[in-house]
Structure formats: structure tokens, C-alpha cells
Amino acid sequence: MTFIRLDNVTVRYPIFNARATSIRHHLLNIGTGGRLSNDVGAVNVTALRDVTISIENGDRVGLIGHNGAGKSTLLRTLAGIYVPTKGTIERRGRISTIFEVGAGLDPELSGYENIRRMGLLMGLSLAQMDAALPEIEELTELGNFLALPVRTYSAGMTTRLMFAVATAVPPEILLVDEILGAGDSSFQKRAQARIDRMISSASIFVFASHSNELLRRHCNRFFELHHGVITEVSSDVVSALG
């Protein structure tokens, strides 16, 4: 049974050599959305504060809040990218993320070499990547370009490659930070269809977005973040946001 459970999780990180004058302090508060405290030689940002939540099998969780409220930090903490300063996290299930697409991409290597490289960094085996290769080739529509160095690709071609690898294997737990908006309209339609299939097959889905329409369409639970503090809210709150 898949689950993610956070108990009293706080994530805090320092910004070194920041001048904590009153004006800069105010601007940092606005820009980060976190709570700031001064330390010797540093300003500490508390991006998540005492978060206790349980996400269980079948949950489709939507994260709402203004820019800098802590949504992306929470997603990266759920994925294990950020380590809590305090508290504990328990996870069960294979996690896939759509926010760090392209991690490990080497522009000097060919498309095929990067497919295997990025797949291994995602924790997949060579056998899994070989099995997924035909679908990756089809989605990217890069053809013979897959044998060429990625540095020869356009930005759109690189995006198609990274997305196809990131979504190569259906996850048990899917974490998404906004729906992909890059690429031409044809690719966006195919990418959206692929994400929809992944959402349907995932045991747990967690989605941060500013699109309330997408949140209402895909999610059955909602959490609002404000300065790193999280509160579960009803769907009526999301609907009221427009």
C-alpha cells in the first residue's frame, strides 16, 4: 500500500551574506514567502513549518498558495530532494517527479545515451529503459536526431526528450509542479494525454498549480500553504479562487 506521511516536518535553509536591513528584509519576505530570521552571517528561510500530513493510497492532492508559499519546497521534500531540518517522513511506493526533468542531461552525449543516463539517475534499470525506448522514440519524434549530440538540438527538441524520459515508466506516486507548457501545440496535447494516463494509473498524485480548473479536475483533496504553514481546505475554497 502506497503512502507518504510527514510528522512535524520543518525545512529551513540559510542565505549567506545577505544584508538584513529593514528594506532588504521586507523584500526577501515578499520574494520567498517564507519566514526569515537573522543569524550570524546569514538569513535563515523557514520554507516549511511543522507540517504534519498523511497522504494515502487513492489520494489526489492539490497544493494551492501564492508564489513562494512553499508548494515547490513541499513537493521536493516529498520526493526526498530536500531533507527536513526537523521532523520525519515515511514513504512507500515508487516516486516519479515532473519538475526536475532533464536532471543528468549531458549535451555532449547523444539522445540515446542521455535516455539511458537520465533513466539510471531516476533509479530505473537498463532493462526498464530498453523496454520504454520505443515509446520514448515515438513521443519525441526526433528520429535520427536521437543518434546526434543533444547540443545540436533546438530548445523544443530538448524539452521533448527530457519529458519523454521523465514519464517513461508509470509511477506509484506522481509529483507534479505545474503542467508542462513548453513545446508546440501538437506536443503539448500528446504530453497532456500522457500525464493524464500517469495520473489515472498512479496510486497517489500530488499537484501544485495556479490553475484552479486543473486542480478541481484532477484532485480530491486540497492543501493551502501560507509562509510554509499548511492547512487542508475544502474544494469550495478552491472554487472560490476562480
201, HSE (Cβ side, Cα atoms, 13 Å): 14
11, HSE (Cβ side, Cα atoms, 13 Å): 26
- Band the pLDDT of 4: cuts 50, 70, 90: very high
Give the per-residue pLDDT at 125. Answer: 84
Listed by start position, the domains of the chain span 3-93+207-240, 98-202
Q: Residue 13 is which amino acid?
A: Y
Architecture of domain 3-93+207-240: 3-Layer(aba) Sandwich (3.40)
Give CA–CA dist 122/141, Å, rounded: 22
Q: Which three cell numbers stand for residue 89?
A: 517522513
Residue % of the chain over a pLDDT of 70: 84
Give CA–CA dist 71/178, Å, rounded: 10
Is pLDDT above 50 for 23? Answer: no
- The β-bridge relationship of strands 3-16 and 86-92 is antiparallel
Q: What is the pLDDT of residues 73-120, one digit of tens each?
A: 999 999 988 999 999 999 999 888 887 666 678 999 999 999 998 888
Give CA–CA dist 227/34, Å, rounded: 5
CA-nearest of 173, 182, 164, 236 to 207 is 173
Give CA–CA dist 242/239, Å, rounded: 6
**CATH number at 98-202:** 3.40.50.300
Give CA–CA dist 60/199, Å, rounded: 9
Give CA–CA dist 129/115, Å, rounded: 8
Q: Residue 48 is which amino acid?
A: L
Give the per-residue pLDDT at 147. Answer: 96
Give CA–CA dist 241/198, Å, rounded: 27
Please determine whether the domains at 3-93+207-240 and 98-202 fall in the same fold group of CATH: yes
Q: Residue 173 is which amino acid?
A: I
Give CA–CA dist 3/77, Å, rounded: 14
Beta pairing partners, 98: 176
Q: Residue 238 is which amino acid?
A: V
Instruction: Report how far apart, in Å, the C-alpha atoms of 47 and of each of 120, 206, 207 are.
Output: 30, 18, 18
